[in-house]
Amino acid sequence: MRKIKFAIIIHLSILISCQPQPEETKVKDFNNFEFLEQDIAQIQMGYENGNFTIKELVKAYLDRIEDIDHNGPSLHSVIQVNPDALQIADALDKEMKDGKVRSPMHGIPVILKDNIDTHDNMPTTAGSRALADSYPLKDSYITKKLRDAGAVIIGKANLSEWANFRGELSSSGWSGVGGQTNNPYILSRNPCGSSSGSAVAVSANLTMIAIGTETNGSIVCPSNSNGIVGIKPTVGLVSRSGVIPISFTQDTGGPMARTVRDAAICLGVLVGVDSTDSKTLASQGKSYNDYTQFLKDDGIKGKRIGFYKKPLGRNFKVDKVMNEAVEYLKSQGAEIIEIDEITESNVGGFSFEIMLYEYKDGLNKYFKSLGVDAPIKNVKDLIAFNLSDSIELKNYNQKYLEMAEEKGDLTSEEYKEALANMLKGSREEGIDKVMNENNLDAIIAPTGGPAWKTDAINGDSFQVGSSSPAARAGYPNITVPMGFIDELPVGISFFGRAWSEPILLEIAYAYEQGTNHRKAPEFLTTD
């Protein structure tokens, strides 16, 4: 097709004045796709009306992955496709023909971040060449929940290797197995991490839904940079069994989608008490199988919302878009209370110590779960493998793995003290305190800034972010598209108390429906 030229201005950083950059070009119309931007309700209606089958839909997505992810713009967001996807789709078609529809997720294509175990013909790698041939002995808890709901797992998503907690100066979206994932809005820009492939696959319409994981920012940051909705649930709402870990205290999986409603539908499938993940015991009576009941067009009206202003002042363009979002919330009947700080203690330092201790403990337990034939037996083996490999340490080191290996076990006084201090500082002296003192329903902040240029030498260039308060507390956070800066999307975060997903969804949905900032990427390139 004809080349369509776009002349836009790219801002390289806050230190460089605005000046025209090389012409950007959309090489081909990759958005000529039958199911572009369709949501779960539209797909289910199509099934009901006989417009297409599950197998036909899955085939269309698999073809699009081949055209766009592996060829075309080469997004590198899908690390592997499921060789059994069409066979699974065919079986689900037969069920539907017989009148059996398991759930709203029946026949919906899903991509899993490749640190989530699947017991099938796909290895689970965490992006590491050390696990390139690692086949888990069973599905993760959330994989089984998705399969039971009738979802079609069509592939695994690339990620920042080891969920971006391996070493210094890393580039989000890079892994030894999958290479560098690219942002679909402007291909030279970074997708953010570590659920980078999950976010890109959803944004580029390579899947309906993806599952990401977050320790601190790894769902909300890529959702921000790729113009989609991401839900980081309360830790314990979604089981981590069978998910390659970083932190037992902070890790959680969560849905990533193009709409709040689709993400809410998926969240209802993922929740559940899992006896093999003790954190989920606290979710008893606090979870819902249907989160769509909380989606209300007037969900902003009458809400008291804290505006967390600490992330502002670093990028005037983000500030402008955020202030416009605040004015919209006010216009819909919200009362906005400005908040300068959420916690005053060294919560970040405590969090880092906890992550190192729990990383070693969790990884060693995970490697043991792979059985006697596991390619890697412990963190020490992993460090040795990386040192011997020609690709793993070519651009990036493994300092965090090495620091974790030096730590003791979870009976250490240093660990227990850090854990107590972090939870106190982030919860009762952090989010809970601020929300109670101001009688808040939720807190808002810009999720992040526009995507930076990918840099394999200097690594990531984070500028704006607000994920840490909710991540360290283990509390929920929902990000929704907030607008664009030039051709790049940015998001707004809604976060709050433990188990407050219902009220956060209510506000986030009303904001999304009233603003409609989401638009499909155009796969722009720069010279």
**What are the beta bridge partners of residue 479?**
230, 493
The Cα 140–Cα 328 span in angstroms is 41
Q: What is the mean pLDDT of residues 364-372?
A: 97
**Quick one: pLDDT at residue 345?**
77
- Return the half-sphere exposure (C-beta side, CA atoms, 13 A cut-off) of residue 346: 7
Nearest to residue 114, comparing CAs of 74, 83, 159, 175? Answer: 159
- Indicate which residue of 26, 55, 113, 279 is catalytic: 113
Cα–Cα dist 282/130, whole Å: 35
Residue 140 token pair? 């993760």
Contacts of 166 (CB under 8 A, 6+ apart): 396, 398, 400, 401
Active site residue 194: yes
Strands 24-26 and 524-526: antiparallel
Q: What is the pLDDT of residues 408-429, one digit of tens each?
A: 999 999 999 999 999 999 999 9
pLDDT attached to residue 526: 74
Is the peptide bond between 160 and the residue preceding it cis, with omega within 30 degrees of 0?
A: no
Q: What is the pLDDT of residue 27?
A: 52
Task: Spell 130-165 as b/e; 16+ CB within 10 A means b.
Answer: bbeebbbeebbbbbbbbbebbbbbbbbbbbbbbbbb
* pLDDT-based confidence at residue 6 (cuts at 50, 70, 90): very low
Cα–Cα distance between 278 and 239 in angstroms, integer?
A: 9
pLDDT greater than 60 at residue 395: yes
Catalytic-residue membership of 55: no
Among the ranges given (128-142, 338-352, 498-512), the one the predictor scored with the smallest mean pLDDT: 338-352
Please state, as a whole number, how many other Cβ atoms lie within 10 Å of the Cβ of residue 468.
18
Indicate the average pLDDT of the chain. 94
pLDDT at 154 over 90: yes
pLDDT tens by residue, 60-101: 999 999 999 999 999 999 999 999 999 999 999 999 999 999
Which amino acid is it at 69? D
Identity of the residue numbered 191: P
Percent of the chain with pLDDT over 90: 93
pLDDT of amino acid 318? 98
CB atoms within 10 A of CB 298: 12
Q: What is the CATH number of domain 4-526?
A: 3.90.1300.10
Contact indicator for 123, 375 with CB cutoff of 8 Å: no
Instruction: Quick: pLDDT tens for 259-280.
Output: 999 999 999 999 999 999 999 9
Q: For residue 508, which of 267, 336, 263 has the smallest C-alpha distance?
A: 263
Could you give phi then psi for residue 136, rounded to 5 degrees? Answer: -55, 155
DSSP sequence for 123-140: ---TT-GGGTT---SS--
pLDDT value at residue 298: 98
Phi and psi angles of residue 130, each rounded to the nearest 5 degrees, phi first: -65, -25
Q: What is the pLDDT of residue 29?
A: 87
Domain segments of the chain: what residues? 4-526
| pLDDT above 50 (res 487) | yes
Indicate the pTM of the whole model: 0.94
Evaluate if residue 134 carries a pLDDT over 90: yes
Given the residues 103, 194, 198, 466, select the one marked as catalytic: 194
The answer, yes or no, to whether residue 254 has pLDDT greater than 70, is yes
DSSP states of 425-460: HHIIIIIHHHHHHHT-SEEEEE-B-SPPBP-TTT--
**Gyration radius of the chain's alpha carbons:** 22
Residue 177 has pLDDT above 50, yes or no: yes
pLDDT value at 171 more than 90:
yes
Tell me which of 77, 170, 218, 287 is the catalytic residue: 218
Q: Shortest CA distance to 375 belongs to which of 136, 118, 133, 116?
A: 133
Confidence label for 344 from pLDDT (cuts 50, 70 and 90)? confident
The strand ranges marked E within 116-239 are 152-157, 174-175, 179-180, 209-214, 229-232
Give the CA angle between residues 136, 137, 142 to the nearest 5°. Answer: 70
Whole-angstrom Cα distance, residue 449 to residue 522?
A: 19
Summarised one tens digit per residue, pLDDT across range 15-57 is: 333 343 444 444 578 999 999 999 999 999 999 999 999 999 9
Question: According to the model, what pLDDT value does residue 42 have?
Answer: 98
Q: Where are the alpha helices (DSSP H) in 152-277?
A: 161-164, 196-203, 220-225, 260-270
